[in-house]
Amino acid sequence: MQILINQRPIHCTSHDTLDSVLNVFAQGSGVDINDIAVAADNTVIPRSQWATYALTANASFSVFVAVAGG
């Protein structure tokens, strides 16, 4: 199946967890997995839920990092 992370299509299987997909995404983006936050449908998915969060086809996630700002 396919999901979207920051509008980018990601292929995954039903065995994948949000945790594992985010790990790959974070590595590919050059960021530490501990330095991201995730939201879906305008709701934050707490880090504690990543390992058990069920992925469904076409689900869309937004991944955020901290950046410089005033």
Partner 1 sequence: MLSIADTLFQSRLLTGSGKFASPTLMRDAIGASGSQLVTLALKRIEQGQTPDRTLSELRQLNVQLLPNTSGAKTAQDAVLAAKIGRDLLGTHWVKLEIHPDPRYLLPDPIETLKAAEELVQLGFVVLPYCSADPTLCLRLQEVGCHAVMPLGSPIGSNQGLQTRDFLRIIIEQCTVPVIVDAGIGAPSHAAEAFELGADAVLVNTAIACASDPIAMARAFRLTCDAAMLAREGRISSPALQARATSPLTSFLER
Contacts 24+ apart (CB under 8 A), 2-10: 2/57, 2/58, 3/55, 3/56, 3/57, 3/58, 3/59, 3/60, 3/61, 4/58, 4/59, 4/60, 4/61, 5/60, 5/61, 5/62, 5/63, 6/61, 6/62, 6/63, 7/60
2, 6, 23, 27: which one binds partner 1 (CB under 8 A): 6
Beta carbon nearer to partner 1, 14 or 68: 68
Q: How far is the CB of 33 from partner 1 (least distance, A)?
A: 11
Contact residues: partner 1, CB under 8 A: 6, 8, 29-32, 35-39, 42-44, 46-47, 62-70
